[in-house]
Structure 1
């Protein structure tokens, strides 16, 4: 290994982090178990985030809080934002806990929060109850930051792209399979009357079934996390590193140790990648909500008048495409052009695809389905390509002992931006649906144009001198 920490340290017998480092040195780290562990934990965290989007329109309508049909999207935005507000307020705290006590405790607490509060969300009977359950779910589900750090620590440097692409793939699949699951299983009495009888529990709580399925999966994952390898070192690493370096390493390596305690806020490679990621995050969460709300909206309001099942089908196919690309092709493509260039290409191609969505209301039948499936697959693939590239930059920008807090800062900033996304997206969609006869950007054309403006801004920020990349020791040798 090129990193200064691992080959210079003697391994502590009872240290879980040392056991992981030994596996990396022996090249026993890239295993199905490690990849699958990252996959299921991140998937479990991301499924509840967007699973409500296909039925959120109908759920808010059932709450009878919206005065007009056009106002439903406005209130739906607040339910979508509540999760991100809770996560924004607690992510740095969970990152600090992960750096002090290990990644594993934070992961288990986060998954248990999904079991409890996602189940309660399915039992909500009022708007404010729904907002509070989503807020608590976001506040206690702090595992994404630690898992981003974990995925860069469990593998050798040359396989960190695999770790980050696994996180991004699982996250992306959750954000598209979640809505698919919600679309298939919400309102089961209407869709599957032979299985779920009228006036039963499922009729009183029509949105409980998809929440229950996600929570049941989370419970199984929580149990499996007992065997999750821990990358945290339970002994003081820095002093031993210094002794090792003083006994036989050069001045450059000593300087790395001195620099590693530099304030994270002064680490521009980290902060620039977080800022760019946050701008993309506003766009991504707004798109996820707007897409589902737009597709189920009536044709007279510029929507496609889809059923929740139809939305589920589109997103399920998109999820399969993400799995195949991220776990099969991403690492090879990223090695050719690098994470930043690949992210720029994805952002550029996203712009015409995004603006094509409102024109699909002109289609029907097989033409409509080919168009919407193709555009959805490509758009969701590009979102995950961009996220993966920025994940790689963020984790390269810091050393292990700061990764939990660094990712906590990232998730806090990203969540704060994603508070804006659903609320603003719902409000703009409502406004756009009230101006169907406007001469400039009528109806949904306006909301997709706004999304493209945000995408374009994020694209510009990926260029130097704004976005910079920290070179690893092995890269500096070339």
Structure 2
């Protein structure tokens, strides 16, 4: 373990061997242990969303073809796939802020239960849908009912203090990474079970509803999470009487009302959220385009892969990303700094998008050879490099949680934007609203991204833009334009706020 001195305290020939620490830091602060049981439940809740949202990606394009939504026109699959993927985020954007505000009043637990219950019901409905509008309503339902992302962050903020908040929020990207690995594997491996295991799945139900099994599997996880949450999760919002505050002072009861948003959203919060939104935009656009490209026939500019293979490819990213972040993020952060690492991660989307036409052209000329599979692997590696930008974007906000050793830097790297937002609010009574605004902006961006990239893909094929590859220069240009939003970020971490 590295025991070197902090970088801002250089050692020279005049430094005493045993020097005094700053007066305010004479004794190291003992970190408060995380409430493991409660955190385990929150992690289950955080797992449920990526599992259910990523579950459909390996088979959504084949599902649209099987339902004959496009009338047999393969080039139009992208339009409908993008609409189905975007509708969840659009509905979430409309209602997530209201759920977060409601959680400030009635408590976090009821809202979390509604959210995870909505995931369960929505996935069951999705697996039983036989029309395009049935799919749309199913995905809309989960977006309407689910406000768990912002509420979970609020709950973590209430379960932690300044000594362990970093470790608490560091669990969020871990849960998302695990969920984004499990979800595609479930969707890819369990789709069309009567084709893969005809001796086991013999009932006509599985032929009529070939995609119900992966939806039911993800719904079962949400149902299990609902049960555990209902039985064991403890409420973190303290109930108060209408006439008194927590100190029993009637004159101060008016403080229970959350302050106006203009007092919550400081320039630094807005700048951090803006960069997070930029990254979320190009990120969700890519991850919506990737399964569409993998499933599209080779003659139309894709690779023509089946759902099980697509699921493995999509799930591989989660495994590689988790290992790389754990082993190398802190070192790269120390070498490059947060702003430079964020910008390089954002620019990784340029070769990521450029690899799509390269793979397509080679597959058309030579088939799915080892070269194509090597390019797929290269794209997954570049995705890991890109994902460093999420950590760098959040790490830039780190000044509010203090400085520490390498372990502290690593634990803060992935969740510090949420730590920053949480730490910047005046009190817990406006915590839900603040996280709700952040999640609202992210949901709006993520609602636009899938429809944009997949519709551009379909339009490029229909109108033969640049031989059907016109979508990729457009997305690369968009990435370079959005890159300018990162220029106001400080070179190093934000200075600590004096309260």
Give the TM-score range, shorter chain.
0.7 to 0.9
- Return the offset for 1:175: 3.5
Shift of 1:166: 2.0
Supply the distance in 2 between the matched residues of 1:365 and 1:34 (Cα, whole angstroms).
49
Change (3 A) 1:330 1:264: farther
Query: 472, 480, 486: which one pairs with 1:462?
Result: 486
Aligned position for 2:14: none
- Picking from 405, 412, 420, the partner of 2:440 is 412
State the match for 1:448 in structure 2: 472
Structure 2 residue aligned with 1:434: 462
1:195 maps to what in 2? 200
* Aligned residue number for residue 88 of structure 1: 93
In 1, the alpha carbon distance for the partners of 2:477 and 2:419 equals: 25
Q: Does 1:355 align with 2:360?
A: no
Q: Partner residue of 1:137?
A: 142
Instruction: Please state how far the C-alpha of 1:89 moved relative to its aligned partner.
Output: 1.1
Q: Distance in 2 between matches of 1:314 and 1:230?
A: 39
State how far apart, in whole Å, the 1-side matches of 2:248 and 2:484 are: 41
For structure 2, list consecutive stretches of 5 or more residues without a partner in the other structure.
1-28, 250-257, 395-413
**2:285 corresponds to:** 286
Match of residue 3 from structure 1: none
Q: 1:407 to 1:204 in 2, by over 3 A?
A: same
Provide the C-alpha distance between the structure 1 equivalents of 2:157 and 2:327, rounded to a whole number of angstroms. Answer: 18
Q: Does 1:367 align with 2:371?
A: yes
Task: For 1:153 and 1:472, locate their aligned partners in 2 and report how far apart those are by CA, in whole Å.
Answer: 21
Paired position in structure 2 for 1:304: 303
Rg bigger for which structure? 2
SS in 1 for 2:228: helix
In structure 1, what is the equivalent of residue 75 of structure 2? 70
Which stretch shows the higher mean deviation, 201-210 or 36-45?
A: 36-45
How far apart, in 2, do the equivalents of 1:469 and 1:262 lie? Answer: 25
Task: Give the counterpart of 1:54 among 58, 61, 66.
Answer: 58
Q: Of 436, 448, 451, which residue of structure 2 is paired with 1:423?
A: 451
The separation in 1 between residues aligned to 2:260 and 2:458, in whole angstroms, is 48
Contact 1:29 1:156 in 2 (8 A): no
Q: 1:140 to 1:92 in 2, by over 3 A?
A: same
Residue 403 of structure 1: how far off its partner (Å):
2.0
TM-superposed deviation, 1:223: 1.7
Q: Does the CA contact (< 8 Å) of 1:285 and 1:422 recur in 2?
A: yes
2:224 maps to 1:220: yes
Q: CA deviation at 1:106?
A: 1.5
Give distance in 2, aligned partners of 1:154 and 1:324. Answer: 28
Aligned residue-pair number: 434
Structure 2: how far apart are the matches of 1:402 and 1:340?
29
| Aligned-partner Cα distance in 2 for 1:152–1:471 | 21
Residues 334 and 398 from structure 1, CA distance in 2 versus in 1: closer, same or farther, beyond 3 angstroms?
farther
The runs of 5 or more residues in structure 1 that have no matched partner are 1-24, 244-258
Distance 2:106 2:183 in 1: 31
> Which of these residues, 202, 207, 219, is aligned with residue 211 of structure 2?
207
Of 462-471 and 109-118, deviating more is: 462-471
- 1:417 shift after superposition: 2.0
Q: Which has the higher helix share?
A: 1
- In 2 relative to 1, CA 343–396 (structure 1 residues): closer, same or farther, beyond 3 Å? farther
Task: Provide TM-score, normalisation by structure 2.
Answer: 0.77
